[in-house]
Amino acid sequence: MDNLHWQLSVLSRAIHYKNLSGAAEHVGLSQPQLSRIISRIEGELDVVLLDRSVRRKSGWTPIAFKIAEIYLQSSRKLSSNLQQLQNEDQISRLTVGCLEGMLNLAAHFCQQLFDHSVIQTFELDVYDLSELETHFEKNELDMIFTFREPGKQKYKFVQNLGYQTFKKHESKATTTRVMSPFEFSHYVNRKKIAKDARFILSNSLAVRKLWVEKYGGIADFPSDVYGKKTDAEGESPVYLIASEFLSSRLWNKMKTFKY
């Protein structure tokens, strides 16, 4: 088992393709070579990585994905630890995820890191809550901006950056309602729609805010982040949570940022 490092690295790349033949074309090995590697892992770990019940169309089993994920997490942790031993200030790339209503805050933090660290590249993406937590728990994101800690795990790097309200905003200039398609379906089931009613449907909170502020209307969207708790209706905390693989020195530097 101690000699499976290379074989597991091959598996971690191969599972991104739906079968053995497709994987072989992309990992730089012939199909017989890849088949022997998979068979060796199966023999060493006493598991089944390929479902061979359909000839020429064998697919990966669930345990194959789990083993590949464990290997990738371990490799990433090793790389991170080695990087910290070498020089904690040499981290040059970070992946950042946030909820849409916290995008301005996340972008501001990235800019401050540009100004106060040697980081050259950020991958900044917006997710809904379930996607954000899934990616973070899989160690696919280095930092997230959210209103709750994912799962039941206690995280080492957590900072409360302030608070945010999610409430109805209304402009008297027009009665146009801006909402998601899901909200609209519930709305029309509860109310009789007037002939002159107008609706803008979008899953984007930015669209809601833009429309109400520029053209007027009625919509629910989050406020900007503010520092002190007010116990306002719909108020929730805003957290910055970082992966345990992030360097302590970089985290301590981020804790001094102003927003």
- Residue 198, pLDDT above cutoff 70: yes
Q: For residue 55, what pLDDT is reported?
A: 64
Question: From CA 184, how far away is CA 118, in angstroms rounded?
Answer: 46
pLDDT digits (tens, 9 = 90+) for 69-109: 888 888 777 776 666 554 555 678 899 999 999 999 999 99
- Which band of pLDDT confidence, cut at 50, 70 and 90, is reported for residue 259? low
Q: Determine the average pLDDT of the residues in 149-160.
A: 89
The predicted structure's pLDDT at residue 250: 86
pLDDT at 1 exceeding the cut of 80: no
Which of these, 140, 146, 137, lies nearest to 100 by C-alpha position?
Answer: 146
Q: What is the pLDDT of residue 81?
A: 63
Measured distance CA(229)–CA(20) in Å, rounded: 55
Residue 57: per-residue pLDDT: 65
CB 60 within 8 A of CB 50: yes
Q: Give the residue among 124, 100, 98 at the shortest CA–CA distance from 110.
A: 124
Model confidence at 215: pLDDT above 80:
yes
Total Cβ atoms within 10 A of residue 36: 12
Place of tokens 């089944």: 48
DSSP string, 113-172: HHHHS---EEEEEE--HHHHHHHHHTT--SEEEESS-SSSPPPSEEEEEEEEEEEEEE-T
- What's the mean pLDDT when you consider all of the chain? 86
Burial of 252 from C-beta contacts in 10 A (0-12 / 13-18 / 19+): exposed
222 SS3 class: strand
pLDDT digits (tens, 9 = 90+) for 180-195: 999 998 888 887 888 8
Question: Looking at per-residue confidence, does 209 or 1 come out higher?
Answer: 209
- 112 near 94, Cβ under 8 Å? no
Sign for the CA dihedral angle at 77, 135, 235, 208 comes to positive
Query: Which range among 45-49, 85-89, 116-120, 240-244 shows the weakest confidence by mean pLDDT?
Result: 85-89
pTM of the model: 0.63
pLDDT, tens digit, for every residue of 33-43? 888 999 999 89
Q: How far apart are CA 255 and CA 121, in angstroms?
A: 20
pLDDT digits (tens, 9 = 90+) for 115-139: 988 889 999 999 999 999 999 988 8
Q: How many CB atoms are located within 10 Å of the residue 34 CB?
A: 20
